[in-house]
Amino acid sequence: MHAATDRLEFAPPPTPGLLRALGLAVLAHAFLLAALTWGVHWKREAVSVTVEAELWSALPQPAAPKLEQPPPAPPAVPPLPQVVPQVPDANIALEREKKRIKQEKLEAEQQQKEKLALEKKLAEEKKKKELQASVKEKLKAQEELKLAEKRHQENKQRMIDMAEATGAPDSTGTARQSSGPSAGYAGRIRARIKPNIVFTDDISGNPMAELEVRTAPDGTIISRKLTQPSGVKSWDDAVLKAIDKTEKLPRDVDGRVPPALIISFRPRD
């Protein structure tokens, strides 16, 4: 008695509202059960009643085989397209052959034209080169002819000059006549003019007067002038007067008289 009292004394106090909670739980379960029952009844289909009757015949007859559903047919396979071999049309083949022959003919004609054009070009170039070579040969021949003619004329003139030469036998010149007076011609000129100089003045030294004398082909004096005075006017005047008095100069050894002469005079020569 004392132990039971001790357990009750130390037991947890009773939970308040326990009965109310149990009642609510029972009520909720009952509501749930009703709902499930109604749902099952609503979904259930009507049950059809089947009645079987056995019939007996006078003679035994075997039963027919049980009707079975035939297996499903395999899926239909679409038929393959039938390839019909195409027979080439004879007209098409003929047209193609004609086109091929025509194309080959055009190509052959084009090649022939190109060949003829090339041959023509080569022939023109060859003709042009031959013409140029011919012109060069003609020009060369003309130049050679001119040179030969020039040499001929030179030889001819040299022979004439040699035939008409007036130089001394030991002369080494090639001209027909000497281009200047001979070595002693100046002395001959002075010898012709000096006797005509009249000068009596007494001067110191030996001054030189230089003059230019121009003559005609026969030696006649045309003009004279003093080119370099001596510094003594009386001597220069005496020389000019002597030339005027001489009037004509002698011919050179070749029979000619130079058209112009430079002559110098000194009083003591």
Count of structural domains within the chain: 2
Residues 6+ apart with CB under 8 A from 198: 238, 241, 242
Q: Rounded to an integer, what distance in angstroms lies between the CA atom of residue 182 and that of residue 180?
A: 7
- More confident call, 202 vs 49: 202
Of 250, 234, 260, the closest CA to residue 179 belongs to 260
- More confident call, 203 vs 64: 203
**pLDDT at residue 166, rounded to an integer:** 47
Q: Which whole-number Å values give the CA distances from 82 to 77, 78, 192, 242, in the listed order?
A: 15, 12, 148, 150
Q: Please state the rounded mean pLDDT for residues 184-200.
A: 87
In a shared domain, residues 95 and 157: yes
Which range of 92-101, 159-168, 177-186 scores highest in mean pLDDT? It is: 92-101
Please, which contacts does 204-209 make with residues 24 or more away whose CB atoms are closer than 8 Å?
206/266, 206/267, 206/268, 206/269, 207/231, 207/232, 207/235, 207/266, 207/267, 208/264, 208/265, 208/266, 209/235, 209/236, 209/239, 209/264, 209/265, 209/266
Residues 6+ apart with CB under 8 A from 223: 213, 214
Q: Do 251 and 185 form a contact (C-beta atoms < 8 A)?
A: no
Token representation of residue 269: 């020569």
Alpha helices in 79-206, H assignment, sequence order: 90-163, 185-193
Give the other-Cβ count within 10 Å of 243's Cβ.
Answer: 22
In eight-state DSSP terms, residue 196 is: G
Q: Do 237 and 267 form a contact (C-beta atoms < 8 A)?
A: no
**pLDDT at residue 20, rounded to an integer:** 79
Q: Rounded to an integer, what distance in angstroms lies between the CA atom of residue 228 and that of residue 34?
A: 178
Q: Is 52 a domain residue?
A: no
In a shared domain, residues 159 and 200: no
For the cut 80, the answer to whether the pLDDT of residue 161 exceeds it is no
Q: Rounded to an integer, what distance in angstroms lies between the CA atom of residue 30 and that of residue 37?
A: 11
For the cut 60, the answer to whether the pLDDT of residue 52 exceeds it is no
**pLDDT at residue 120, rounded to an integer:** 92
For the cut 60, the answer to whether the pLDDT of residue 264 exceeds it is yes
Last residue of a domain, one of 109, 128, 163: 163
Residues 6+ apart with CB under 8 A from 226: 209, 210, 211, 236, 240
Condensed to tens digits (0 to 9), the pLDDT of residues 209-256 reads 898 999 998 889 999 899 999 888 989 999 999 999 988 888 888 888
Q: Is 61 a domain residue?
A: no
Condensed to tens digits (0 to 9), the pLDDT of residues 111-130 reads 999 999 999 999 999 999 99
Q: Is 98 a domain residue?
A: yes
Q: What is the CATH number of the domain that holds 233?
A: 3.30.1150.10
In a shared domain, residues 159 and 228: no
**pLDDT at residue 104, rounded to an integer:** 92
In a shared domain, residues 193 and 223: yes
In a shared domain, residues 123 and 191: no
pTM value is: 0.35
| Percentage with pLDDT > 70 across the chain | 66
In a shared domain, residues 195 and 145: no
Condensed to tens digits (0 to 9), the pLDDT of residues 65-101 reads 565 666 666 666 666 666 555 655 678 888 888 899 9
Q: Please state the rounded mean pLDDT for residues 173-181.
A: 54
**pLDDT at residue 44, rounded to an integer:** 54
In a shared domain, residues 150 and 217: no
**pLDDT at residue 118, rounded to an integer:** 93
Q: Rounded to an integer, what distance in angstroms lies between the CA atom of residue 181 and that of residue 172?
A: 16
On the 0-12 / 13-18 / 19+ scale of CB atoms within 10 A, 150 is: exposed
Per-chain mean pLDDT for the chain: 77
Domain that holds residue 249: 185-265
Q: Is 151 a domain residue?
A: yes
For the cut 60, the answer to whether the pLDDT of residue 60 exceeds it is no
Q: Is 27 a domain residue?
A: no
